[in-house]
Structures are given as structure tokens and as C-alpha cells.
Amino acid sequence: MPCLCTSSIMTLYVGGMDSRIQDDDLKDAFYSFGEIASLKIIRDRNCAFVTYTSRSSAERAADALVNKLVIKGVRCKLMWGKPARQQAVQDVPTSSAAAAAPPPSMYPPQVQAQMAMRGGVPGGPPPLNYFNLPPQSGYGMPPPMMAGYGMPPP
């Protein structure tokens, strides 16, 4: 089976499996080509991953079983497994300022900017004062009596 991948991959993907196929059935089909390091069946996806201890064993199995793998009367698809993704190693902050930082917001950047201008983001910048007016209490409106609404004082 041609492989356009790196030579470090020792895992074969077995697809199109049936619920009748068990671990022992896979071991019987693949053990004759070399020592198996791990065997994982994923029932939800009807597939399995067979990992060999050496690349040469995996190549022998792939060459012998490609387009020929039949387990318990079920014709299975055999391909090379994909290489594992390299997870980025993140530095863990040790300073108290980084530990006290709030978690990232789930709001889009535009909404975060509007909330910051209105003073809605804790720890964010104070709201902008476009007209250089003194800050007001409440919702930014004067009390109803000062605006001429309601009944005059007795």
C-alpha cells in the first residue's frame, strides 16, 4: 500500500467494521505480521486502530491486507493512520497578576469594545466621556421632578 506519510507512523486504520467484530478477531487478522503494541476499536465510528511496535511490521500488514481484509465476512478498509497532532506546550503563568486575570470573554470583539466603552467589562477601561460631562448616577437621566415630569412639589 503506498504511503505518502512519514516513516514514523506505525498505526493502521481499519474502517467499515461491523459490531460483530471483536478485539480477538482483529488480533487474529493482524498478529501474524508482527507484534501489536495497541489495538483500539471505536464502536461509534465503526473503525479500529492497530498500532505495531515496528514500522516494518506495519508495512508488511499493510502490503498484505490492502483491498483484501475480510473479518467475519465483512470487507474492511485498510489505510495508514494519520500522525498525531503536536500539541503546543503552553507556559503556565506563575505570577499572581496572570493568575488573577479574568477568563477570556465569549463575546465577539465588536461587542467587547462596546461593553468597554460603556463600562460593562470588569477590569476594563473606564467608559469614554465624549462630551466632557460630569458622571451621573443612575441610568444617565435626571430624576423625573428635575425634568419637569410628574407633580410639582407641595
pLDDT, tens only, 23-80: 999 999 999 999 999 999 999 999 999 999 999 999 999 999 999 999 999 999 999 9
Closest C-alpha to 73, from 30, 32, 19, 1: 19
Q: pLDDT confidence of 114, banded at 50, 70, 90?
A: confident
Closest C-alpha to 128, from 139, 138, 115: 115
pLDDT-above-90 percentage for the chain? 45
Q: pLDDT confidence of 113, banded at 50, 70, 90?
A: confident
Is 40 within 8 Å of 49 (Cβ atoms)? yes
* C-alpha cell, 151: 407633580
The strand pairing partners of 11, in sequence order, are 51
Confidence (pTM): 0.53
